[in-house]
Amino acid sequence: MQLRRNLLVFGVCSALGVSVFAQTKAATLTDLPSAAQSSISAWLGRDISDYNATRVPGGFRAGDLQRRLTTDFAADGVSVHSGTATWKMRTAAYGRGHALQRAAEVLPQVDANRVEYRRRQLTEWYLNGPAGLEQGFTVSEPMGKANAGPLTLSLALTGNVQAVEDHGGLSLIGTDRTARLRYQGLAAYDASGQQLRAWLELKRKRLLLRVDDRGAHYPVVIDPWVQVAEVTADDGGNADEFGWSVGVSGSVVVVGAPFHNVGSNTAQGAAYVFVEASGGWANMTETAELTASDGSTNAYFGSSVAISGTTIVVGAGGTTISGNPRQGAAYVFVQPEGGWTSMTETAELIASDGYVGDDLGAAVSISGNTVVAGAP
């Protein structure tokens, strides 16, 4: 399935999806539609104790299996920590237009991996799971008269990042002047599933979430997204389909771009390796680019990827083997002693009984020293 989301996202989605690709399960979930990701992640997060919110002085804390992103919940707001970046959000007021009422500080209520702040008509909620931390705002009933202006939530922003308006969203800039987080993709919908017009406004240290709720059937859910970082290819081209496949192990992410042109070979494909910096994830281009030594036109190298420790496997179902078009192959890359660098494969895997159109490598997986490749 094509992944059209920016990578490494944590957002407010019917929910706010906070994902730092801390584990393979999260990358697998991103292959599913958003609604499925949300429900499955929430269900898994409830059963896996590492995702449950635990009590700490002053409130509660939730993290992921490798603690690459933690969130603190207190009466005075929610603090998200990713590497050296800290961003704090506090629901300061809500209502309609400019007639907003102050949001009282309330203690969060916790049930396993679910955290809620309940304020009359407004419930601010969080669900933690393998796909990340999801945040949502649910408004149970209309506030005031519709002609008084749009439904509005006012969030107070603090932390060591600076919010700057950027293409309909916000870039949250760290002390090193790089974008550490992005807040974008605001959406809202009502009880019937109708999408409502929604937009962001930045007023100094306040972020306003505005929704045109005329004709809406309540309850209404408000849904922005926050990116921890955006990773891109430095040689990316039109229709490369960067992000078609994604794999992660520890602090290393591998991303497939099966339609990437290599030299004169159209859609030969490539895979890109990203290694988390010591200060945490930030917007970046690849640490290394992986290609096939026998790459050819329409090989679709990168249509599947997998990683385990220091070994990466990349599928190329369109590869011609011994004159058999689309017999397919899987390529193994082992990290050199000095770290990941642009390279061709350590080994190429093919099927002893391969034939035309097998598409070996359409799916790949790896665990330790064992690789499995599908030939559908």
pLDDT tens per residue across span 258-308:
999 999 999 999 999 999 877 667 678 999 999 999 999 999 999 999 999
How many folded domains does the chain comprise? 2
- Mean residue pLDDT across the chain: 83
Domain that holds residue 350: 232-374
Task: Say if residue 236 is in the same domain as residue 350.
Answer: yes
Whether 226 shows a pLDDT value over 90: the answer reads: no
CA 353/CA 373 separation, integer angstroms: 14
pLDDT band at 168 (very low <50, low <70, confident <90, very high): low
- The answer to whether the Cα torsion of 65, 66, 68, 72 is positive or negative is positive
Task: Say if residue 51 is in the same domain as residue 160.
Answer: yes
- Mean predicted confidence (pLDDT) in 161-177: 73
Residue scoring higher pLDDT (297 or 6): 297
pLDDT band at 17 (very low <50, low <70, confident <90, very high): very low
Task: Say if residue 222 is in the same domain as residue 123.
Answer: yes
Residue scoring higher pLDDT (161 or 328): 328
Q: Is 315 helix (H, G, I), strand (E, B) or coil?
A: strand
Task: Say if residue 304 is in the same domain as residue 339.
Answer: yes
Task: Say if residue 248 is in the same domain as residue 204.
Answer: no
pLDDT band at 195 (very low <50, low <70, confident <90, very high): confident
Whether 131 shows a pLDDT value over 80: the answer reads: no
- Mean predicted confidence (pLDDT) in 341-354: 97
Task: Say if residue 127 is in the same domain as residue 44.
Answer: yes
Whether 154 shows a pLDDT value over 90: the answer reads: yes
Task: Say if residue 19 is in the same domain as residue 154.
Answer: yes
Q: Which residues contact 190 (CB under 8 A, 6 or more apart)?
A: 196, 213, 216, 217, 218, 219, 220, 221
β-bridge pairing 288-291 and 270-275: antiparallel
Instruction: Look up residue 95 and give its two tokens.
Output: 């209502």
Task: Say if residue 22 is in the same domain as residue 132.
Answer: yes
